[in-house]
Amino acid sequence: MSYITGFLTPVKSENKERYLESARKSWPLFQKYGALEQVETWGEDIPPGKVTGFDLAVKLEEGEAVVFSWLKWPDRATADACWEKMQNDPDFSDMDLPFDGKRMMWGGFQPIFES
């Protein structure tokens, strides 16, 4: 069964094009390591949370948007191998990351239902 790596990231609205370009550049690298799909979404309807919420999760600041994205892998082993290999891949070290990585979150997920 497939495996998903999900990301939640705050990005300054003024950096939307930089973020998109970074995503475009990263796709061939992830694909090289076995990724099947990369999806990047720009938050449009993010209701303010009171206890939980996307805005609270990333400590959203004025002038920022929430980006929700994921990579789909054939399996967890392929995803884990990518993360290991990218540590030494100079193509990844040259990536422009136009966001605050300290407020980014990510995790791996095993799908339990796909249609």
Look at residue 93 in the predicted model and tell me its pLDDT.
76
CB neighbour list of residue 96: distance below 8 Å, 6 or more residues apart: 18, 21, 22, 25
CATH number at residue 10: 3.30.70.100
Joined together, the tokens standing for residue 20 give 């998109």
Residue ranges of the chain whose pLDDT lies below 50: none
Residue 114 belongs to some domain of the structure: no
Structural domain of 23: 3-109
Whole-model pTM?
Answer: 0.91
Look at residue 43 in the predicted model and tell me its pLDDT.
97
Gap between the Cα atoms of 4 and 24, Å rounded: 19
Strand ranges in 1-115 using DSSP code E only, listed in sequence order? 3-12, 37-42, 64-73, 105-109
Look at residue 5 in the predicted model and tell me its pLDDT.
98
Whether 85 and 33 have beta carbons less than 8 Å apart is answered as yes
